[in-house]
Amino acid sequence: MVETLHYAFLNESGGVALFVPGERFLVIAVLVARKRRSLELVIKRALKRFGASLASGEMKAARSSEKTVRWVLASIARQDVEIVAVVVDKQGIVKPPRDPEDLYRKTAGRAIRLCVERWPRLDVTMDRRYTHEHLRHKLEWRIREEVADLKGQAVVIRQMDSVRVKGLQAADFVAWALWQKYQREDDSYYQIVKDRLVIEEIIEAK
């Protein structure tokens, strides 16, 4: 039986720098759906409803009102979508990596592996974090190394500007909601989408 192709959108909240006040957690959230358009429509409708003044056409949770954030999260929760999240407690890192970006690459790789274990045919779109091509290749290599041992997997990886991809903007809202839960101890946003979470992995020590 041929596995159904799923579409995944990955975004993060929190930084990779260690020992920064107010930046204890790094959250990576992946929204997975059978139809990419369902998530695109959520953001398009939100832009029409709340974001007419946004010149860039991009919505971000951190720059949105509470009303907007709750509306977007509730709309995502009504879609046929599943969420995989990996949360890193940076306070537990004993041996910091020489390159802080290794933390992002490793966490993103872990999140994608968890997805591919459930959905072997996966079209992944990630927020384009790096301007330098060699850093984008390094990220993709790390992810492919993470899933290499999984049989039957067929993974496409795209790194794109979130301004152009509405699904990435939806993932931003979910990552932000999870970050609020862990960093701010405010789970009110998380509660809106929690029933869509199929994996929520917390990494507390490395």
- Residue 52: what pLDDT? 55
pLDDT, position 55: 63
In this prediction, residue 10 has a pLDDT band, given cuts at 50, 70 and 90, of very high
Residue 175 pLDDT: 99
Checking if the pLDDT of 74 tops 70, the result is: yes
| pLDDT attached to residue 3 | 82
Architecture per CATH, 6-203: 2-Layer Sandwich (3.30)
Dist CA 193 CA 77 (whole Å)? 5
How many C-beta atoms lie closer than 10 Å to residue 101's C-beta?
16
Q: Where are the domains of the chain?
A: 6-203
Does the pLDDT of residue 178 top 90, yes or no?
Answer: yes
CA distances from 45 to 13, 65, 77, 143 (A): 23, 16, 15, 32
pLDDT in tens, 149-162: 999 999 999 999 99
* Gap between the Cα atoms of 36 and 98, Å rounded: 37
Q: Are strands 6-13 and 25-33 parallel, antiparallel or unpaired?
A: antiparallel
Residue 205 has a pLDDT of: 64
Number of H helices, E strands in the chain: 6, 6
pLDDT tens-place string over residues 17-73: 888 888 999 999 999 999 999 999 999 999 989 875 566 778 999 999 999 999 999
In the numeric block, which tokens belong to residue 144? 């492919």
